[in-house]
Amino acid sequence: MIELISPADGEKISLLTDVMREFVERQYSGQHVYAEDPEEFPDAEDSYAWLREKYGKGFTRNYAGNPNEVNLTKPQYIKFSWKADVPCHVEITCSVKYPNDPQTEILPPELDGDIYTCEAGNFFMRTEYSWQVVSDDGKQHSELRRFVTLDEFPRAIFAQGGGNIRDLGGLKTYDGKSLRQGCVYRGGALECYLEEVLKSNERSYSLTPRGKHVLRDLVRIKKDIDIRKDSVGVLNESPLGGDVELLHLTLRGYELFYDTPWANKTKELFDLLADESNYPVYLHCMVGADRTGTVMCFLEMLLGVSRKDLIADYNITSLSLRDIRLIPPDGECDQNRFLGGMGDHEPVEETVKRNCEKFLMDKFGITMETIEKVRKNLIEE
């Protein structure tokens, strides 16, 4: 006989760890700001002193050499428990169809006395799941229970050896909509191939076999979009292996992103995002902070993401602890370059969205039809 213990039927479950929740609360309450005295508090790291002191003990900036490194970008895994007199496993099904039918990562169960426990992770936000426990021989089935995950930013992904991986989905637009989950993922590199990096203490991310399994077989990434220049000619296939296609779309960060020499690669990216059969995609540079952050920021502006969510998505990269980034709530960000022609009482996001459209069409030759397809794919009705 199989007796379920937890989660309870109908339970609402958070996917945020304590550090994620505290970061988000501080972010949205405006606590992440530059100190008034720049000589006493010279840089952004001082705004995150609490992060290092409270959660960063033992962090060594060495993901590639130590896949069990402190990883504050890892989401909360859900713990399942049950009693049984035979070996069992958990089966989980999702009520929503996401691109390429992704699955959760379910870890092997452990037995303590007569109680089994196991953890599972990489769930979607605000989604209903069903679960039950089945004996390994298939002869016994528990009752079927359901739980719902909460609607909380960010939707993070854990792939062992990697970091700073999260879904663009779940961010909110200024007019109350949400970006669709399971389509566009952002993060750090999937491997470390540069000898000078491997020999230093500033090691890059490098996925373990378990991490590759998560992104390839469970998240089921279709396109590995590598926007680094130095990987061209070095990597000829995705480190994820399988049927994952590697695409080199060299793009730059900050001011250089808006340079016309990259027009063909920017156009290629938006053409790819306009075709929903390409999802899910994984877009990354080395650490997912600057180049990736700039590209994601522009895409979010085009989609009408609210200013507070746009800034939060940039800043939360700081949970990696190796790439501290800070835009104060009232600070300058890429939105500021697209404020021209703002109408009376017009939301800043609407002005920015319109000017982003014009920029894509004038500078990169991207059609309005392509822009509308991207929006249709990535904004929930």
Residue 119's SS3 state is strand
Which pLDDT does position 91 carry in this prediction? 97
Give the rounded percent of residues in the chain with a pLDDT score beyond 70: 94
| Pick from 377, 292, 321, 330: nearest CA to 73 | 321
Among left, alpha and beta (phi > 0; psi -120 to 50; other), residue 164 is left
Examine the pLDDT at 64 and tell me if it is beyond 80: no
Strand pairing category for 184-187 and 281-284: parallel
Domain residue ranges of the chain, discontinuous segments joined by + = 2-16+74-149, 154-378
Q: How far apart are CA 7 and CA 12, in angstroms?
A: 9
pTM: 0.94
More confident residue, 80 or 235: 80
Which pLDDT does position 233 carry in this prediction? 87
Q: What is the DSSP letter of 75?
A: P
Which pLDDT does position 349 carry in this prediction? 95
Examine the pLDDT at 328 and tell me if it is beyond 70: yes
Lowest mean pLDDT among 41-45, 46-50, 74-78, 209-213: 41-45
Name the class of domain 154-378.
alpha beta
Mean pLDDT of the chain: 91
Give the rounded percent of residues in the chain with a pLDDT score beyond 90: 71
Encode 77-112: b = buried (16+ Cβ within 10 Å), e = exposed: bbebbbbbeeebebebebeeebbeebebbbeebeee
Cβ contact 163:205 at 8 Å: yes
Q: Count other C-beta atoms under 10 Å from residue 49's C-beta.
A: 11
How does pLDDT run across 207-255, given as a tens digit for each residue? Answer: 999 999 999 999 999 999 999 988 888 889 999 999 999 999 999 999 9
Q: How far apart are CA 46 and CA 49, in angstroms?
A: 5
Tell me the DSSP string of 122-187.
Answer: -PPTT-EEEEEEEETTS--B---EEEEE---S--B---TT--S-EESTTPBBTTS-BBPTTSEEEE
**CB proximity list for 53: less than 8 A, separation 6 or greater:** none
How does pLDDT run across 336-352, given as a tens digit for each residue? Answer: 889 888 888 899 999 99
Examine the pLDDT at 41 and tell me if it is beyond 50: no
Q: Which fold has domain 2-16+74-149?
A: Immunoglobulin-like (2.60.40)
Which pLDDT does position 178 carry in this prediction? 96
Residue with tokens 């409270």: 54
Token pair, residue 242, equals: 């399988």
How does pLDDT run across 109-142, given as a tens digit for each residue? Answer: 999 888 999 999 999 999 999 999 999 999 999 9
Rounded to a whole number of angstroms, the CA Rg of the chain reads 22
